[in-house]
A and B are shown apart, each in its own frame.
Chain A
């Protein structure tokens, strides 16, 4: 079964700090790596995504770093804010258009 591993399970960061969430995968047939943000009681929403031919993508305070050879990718949230407190999921899509999700990281940003 395809897997995406994600760590840490939970993360507490001070306001203004950097939040870092790491993911790793095994299947080389993945072609798209999105990150989703989910607030309690809501559906996940796409935050940022990257394709394997790119090593880094930045959108505002959010950056994905992608290491194809190590099969790892990470989300960095700069200048973390209390409004960023949510659960974050990394995911990977295979060529069959199916998505595999990591178990999630619960981020708490303290004011």
Chain B
């Protein structure tokens, strides 16, 4: 079992829908990152969380440390949101590396 599991692996939705991507992890962490990867490989860091909730534009990230779970929400989704969304955790042990989930491929159709 991977230390970081994301669901769903693939998600297709219509423009305007509310999107939720989930991330569960099995190790103690000091922080959790949500990343966005577009075709061609470029990765953009969206959020880093250690507790609670963060919001940036139409993106909202939440984390529940006790339940070892985080969610990334996209409101009013748009085709330009189509990308792979990756959850990565910074374990308390080996705190300088990130452990990544497999990613969720999101496709927003017009």
Query: Do A and B originate from a single complex?
Result: no
Chain A interface residues (CB < 8 Å from chain B) = none
